[in-house]
A and B are shown apart, each in its own frame.
Chain A
Amino acid sequence: MKYADEFRDKEIALGLANAIQSEADPQRPYRFMEFCGGHTHAISRYGLEDMLPKNVRMIHGPGCPVCVLPAGRIDMAIRLAERPEIIFCVYGDLMRVPGSQGASLLKAKAKGADIRMVYSTIDALRIAEENPQRQIVFFAIGFETTTPPTAVMIRLAEKKQLANFSVFCNHVLTPPAMQNILESPDIRNIGRVEIDGFVGPAHVSTIIGTAPYEFFAEEFGKPVVISGFEPLDMMQAILMLVRQGNENRHEVENQYSRAVKRDGNLRAKEEVSDIFELRDQFEWRGLGQVPYSGLKLKRAFAKYDAEARFDMKELRVADNPACECGAILRGVKKPVDCKLFGTVCTPETPIGSCMVSSEGACAAHWTYGRFRDHQQRRAS
């Protein structure tokens, strides 16, 4: 497969694994967090952990925007979807995300809500054009990567003068969340966060560039390598982080230079800043309230804002107190340290963010990696 196989070459991978092995100082730990679920998925799917020395550990971060969406926002979406005048358009992987008391959009659909799975923002606009007598709400979600398509969709809705179209906006931003992982009131309860560097999400940086992480790297003294999602990208990024650690550097480096520039995509950034503004606070499942980490539509576009159009009330649902997601996605604990892991919390019945989608730390470990726990137990 052109443009994919080149980044999955076993021989090159072994070369990188050998380089990591020989350059990583056996006397010190290297704890790197991959922020994005796409990276977690690649690590798990290709079994990269088996190719790293024992003292180089990957910490699976918040995952994907689907995993970190709090139960209250899912409850809000379900209430909206249940209104008879509404056709609610969502991306497929949101369907199973649990709200409070086991509710989900999949279950709401089974009970009669008109929920349509879409594959692009254009599909939602088409449904709006085909159903002028109904209200179409698009469940907008994603990091900086999926925000420009939502902005373009709103522009198009305006151009087409669609009066029956709006957006339930749940777009979130990565740098504030990374900051929260290292510096938030929760850390007092959870314990010291030991992260020696970050693998930054490349798709996000294709939009925002590498520059937003520079302040972050300087402020917190942690190296950041913006990495692609192919396994060779990951291995190279890990090697770059090991080198920065060995040289006591903390810089932003760009492994994904084939698509990421320092300033990102100016046109996309402009579109986003025209239409969206920061929320003061936005709740992340597992992280709690994170200041300035979410986007909402500007007042000028309020007619496309489902929260305003349908007078939606913010719903808050407390996380299960036994859930250790907050500590797991800060790297303080591992999935197996949580007493809910694999007992009441499984991919079929997820309790916390780390188990919600296949890209969460716990789901990835359960689905791809739990044989290692048994191997370790047998070895000890």
Chain B
Amino acid sequence: MKAHQRKLDIKNGCVDLSHGSGGRAMAQLISGLFHSAFGNEWLARGNDQSAFDVAAGRMVMTTDGYVVSPLFFPGGNIGSLAVHGTVNDIAMAGARPLYLSASFIIEEGFRFSDLKMIAESMGEAARAAGVHIITGDTKVVERGKADGLFISTAGVGVVPDGLDLSAEKARVGDRVLISGTLGDHGVAIMSKRQNLAFETEIVSDSASLHDLVAKMVTAGGEGIRLMRDPTRGGLAAALNEIAQQSGLGFRVQEEAIPVKPGVAAACELLGLDPLYVANEGKLVAIVAPEAAAAVLATMRAHPLGCDAADIGEAVADDHHFVQMATSFGGGRIVDWLSGEQLPRIC
């Protein structure tokens, strides 16, 4: 006999502790909300894990946690962000992303309607990227023990034969390419933070970059040394990381670095530097000089790379400095960020 069960009241209901207890309520949440949002054959089997075929050659795997505040921001939400971020970590190896896992830690009292919106945008982002969310987990914690919702993901992908992107392949004279304007995601998030509401039309750049990467790899071949997505810590952190790993330095031109006027203005207002502000749909590529023009043209022909720019070059430097010629005519270092970037009082 089929037990009577009340439907999830998506419009007015909220998550309570029973939805993480492993009982019927949890099963209902998973099947009623997540499965319908992610819908695929692997999840439909309802196992604790999902088996999938392994391609020949090299695979990549990544894991990431999403604790963004606020959960909804102009241009996306924590769900789409989780998919884009994980897909991009895989894509930066030049790999084709295949499967994702998603683990949810939900605070008691979180509204079903918000959860549904987040799950649906995850499903949508995954479908758009051609990846499948094939396994997951749901935990509910007491009120006050999580900031609404945290998402952890893992992802796997497969690298095309013969491709091996790595920082140690960078050489003096290589060009530094960036796929578009900096700081859009960070400023979009800040514009919605409590206490910091300012009017802006800037939306997050959150996007999956694997298609752009695939086209760049086709255009640049072995000329592409490595790629990195400049997320937390922005372009500054990405270039310093690459400088340390490659044993080189970088010299970039401030004038060549694309920043939207709205982002520049918000940063000006808050005393922040766009070079350190997070991005979620941009990449930095270190490319051999002879391949740079073709790769750049390919990037610009792609909707996610239309503002791509050649911003500088790799140089020999024992100190692994990232130096910048300022648009004003002087020079400076673009150093690692010290702690969190905090607004200044003066």
**A binding-site residues for B, Cβ under 8 Å:** 1, 4, 8, 10, 13-14, 17, 36-38, 44-51, 64-66, 91-96, 106, 117-120, 123, 141-143, 145-146, 203, 231, 346-348, 357-359, 363, 366-371, 374
Contact = CB atoms under 8 A, between A and B. Distances in A.
Contacts of A145: 346
B205 to A, nearest CB: 20
A93 B340 CA distance: 10
A359 B321 CA distance: 20
Contact of B344 (A10, A117, A359, A370): A359
B332 interface: yes
A93 B345 contact: yes
Interface in B18-59: none
B62 interface: no
A342 B305 CA distance: 39
B346 A143 contact: yes
A2 to B, nearest CB: 9
B332 A141 contact: no
Contact of A1 (B261, B330, B338): B261
8 contacts: A1-B268, A44-B332, A45-B273, A51-B328, A65-B346, A95-B342, A231-B328, A363-B338
Interface string B313-340: 0000001010101111111110100110
A63 to B, nearest CB: 10
B339 A119 contact: no
Given A4-B268, A66-B345, A95-B342, A45 B327 contact: no
A366 B319 CA distance: 13
Interface residues of B, number: 27
B343 interface: yes
Contact of A8 (B265, B328, B345): B328
Given A358-B338, A367-B338, A371-B323, A141 B329 contact: no
B328 A119 contact: no
B196 interface: yes
Chain B interface mostly helix, strand, loop or mixed? loop
Contact of B343 (A38, A64, A119): A119
A359 B342 CA distance: 13
A91 B335 contact: no
Contacts of B8: none
A360 to B, nearest CB: 12
Nearest to A126: B195
A1 B331 contact: no
B331 A371 contact: yes
A368 B335 contact: yes
B293 interface: no
A70 to B, nearest CB: 17
A92 B321 CA distance: 28
B264 interface: yes
B331 A47 contact: yes
A37 B346 contact: yes
Q: Which 4 A-B pairs have the closest CB atoms?
A: A47-B330, A92-B342, A347-B338, A50-B330
Contacts of B335: 366-368
A51 B330 contact: yes
A230 to B, nearest CB: 10
A228 B321 CA distance: 30
Given A10-B328, A348-B338, A370 B346 contact: no
Contact of B345 (A10, A50, A142): A142
A37 B339 CA distance: 19
Given A1-B261, A93-B345, A10 B327 contact: yes
Contacts of A91: 343, 345
Contacts of A4: 264-265, 268
Given A14-B329, A370-B333, 4 more contacts: A64-B344, A123-B195, A142-B346, A371-B333
Contacts of A8: 327-328
Interface string B147-182: 000000000000000000000000000000000000
Contacts of A367: 333, 335, 338
A260 B325 CA distance: 32
B319 A371 contact: yes
Nearest to A366: B335
B328 A93 contact: no
B342 to A, nearest CB: 4
A241 B323 CA distance: 30
Contacts of B338: 346-348, 358, 363, 367
Nearest to A49: B330
B195 A118 contact: yes
A142 B326 CA distance: 29
B327 A146 contact: no
A143 B345 CA distance: 10
Nearest to B262: A1
A370 B317 CA distance: 13
B326 A47 contact: yes
B346 A203 contact: yes
A369 B343 contact: no
B330 to A, nearest CB: 2
Instruction: Name which of B329, B335, B339 has the most chain A CB atoms within 10 A of its CB.
Output: B329
A47 B339 contact: no
A64 B264 CA distance: 23
Given A1-B261, A4-B268, A371-B319, A92 B343 contact: yes
A146 B331 CA distance: 32
Contacts of B196: 119
A43 to B, nearest CB: 9
Nearest to B321: A371
A121 to B, nearest CB: 11
A50 B254 CA distance: 15
A368 B264 CA distance: 19
B243 to A, nearest CB: 12
Given A46-B326, A47-B326, A96 B345 contact: no
Instruction: Name which of A49, A203, A367, A371 has the most chain B CB atoms within 10 A of its CB.
Output: A371
A44 B333 CA distance: 9
